[in-house]
Amino acid sequence: MSPEPEDIATDEAGEPIPPVGHVRVVYLGPVAPHWEVQSDYGDPAVVEAFRERVLARLVLLPPHDPQFRRNRERVVRDAERENLALDWDLGYPEEP
């Protein structure tokens, strides 16, 4: 899931601010644990705190659960607040 133009953080002059890190949320399958949060770069403390919040929101939710959509949006907003680039790997192609 690549960020939409309005989702990119900007400074006071409207210039884009590069993300401070990158995380990928991966669905592991129907057997717990369902989720893994991977990071390519970024401050380990920021990434680890984000990972804890993501896993707390998604721990018992497979992607087909109705609650998943609401919690996914919360994870997306959390990543935006932390200025983290966020990708999802649900194991299947997503609709745009």
* Predicted confidence (pLDDT) per residue in 71-81, tens digit: 999 999 999 99
Residue spans of the domains in the chain: they are 21-89
* Predicted confidence (pLDDT) per residue in 10-31, tens digit: 666 777 788 899 999 999 988 7
Instruction: Say which amino acid occupies 52.
Output: E
Tokens of 73: 């949006």
Give 50-66 as a 3 state SS string.
HHHHHHHHHCCCCCCCH
Threshold 0.85, pTM exceeds: no
